[in-house]
Amino acid sequence: MRGWNELLKALREIPHVEMIRIGTRMPVCLPMRVTDELAVMLRRYAPLFVITHFNHPKEITAEARAACERLVDHGVPVENQGGVDAEGEFDGADHQGAVARVASRCGCGRTTCNQMDVAEGCEHLRTPIDEGVKILEQLRGHTSGLAVPHPRGGSAGRGGKVTLQPQYVVERRCERDRAAELSW
């Protein structure tokens, strides 16, 4: 605990560090390590976000749920970066929706569903970006918008992943007065 406290204190002293994001599978693999003491210490360094990584609804056990709720109860925002989007493994709206719904019930604010990064020998596992957008379209209207995962795809060389969205704009027309009219 002392090491975490010292590290976070040092990060907070860097003027350009606006937020701290901790990506961890601790609530999944070691939920007993998420104690009240840890939650209080993390809250001290707000704005600080814990990003957990649930890949399957079965990973959200009673213990994992309690760990997430403990963080949230102490004022530490928790999000889920999960739902491995691997072709044939965890793809599909049913699976992605289940992960997001169960995660949201234990306090995870939003879920992002990431497309796998390009890795040699793994290309056959990557779900096409269009498929991720189709999953999002299938989930809209079938669960709370707060529980709909945000699909994200890689933008190699452009600073990380970007959120993918369906094209809801059907038509754009510019009038003489230059006001754009949108059809939804």
Query: Token digits for 115?
Result: 């497309």
Query: pLDDT tens digits, residue range 127-184?
Result: 677 777 777 777 777 777 777 776 666 655 666 666 766 676 667 666 544 455 544 4
Mean pLDDT of the chain: 79
Query: Which has the closest alpha carbon to 103: 136, 81, 88, 126?
Result: 81
Q: In the structure encoding, which two tokens stand for residue 139, read together?
A: 């989930």
Please report the domains of the chain, with CATH numbers, ordered by start residue: 2-183 (3.20.20.70)
Could you tell me which residue, 87 or 149, shows the higher pLDDT?
149
**Rounded to whole angstroms, what are the CA distances from 163 to 21, 59, 100, 141, 149?**
18, 25, 16, 19, 10
What's the pLDDT tens digit per position in 10-69?
Answer: 999 999 999 999 999 999 999 999 999 999 999 999 999 999 988 888 899 999 999 999
pTM higher than the cut 0.85: no
11 to 37, 55, 76, 172: CA distances (angstroms)? 20, 29, 17, 46
* 4 phi and psi angles, rounded to 5 deg: -65, -45
**Whether pLDDT at 94 is above 90:** no
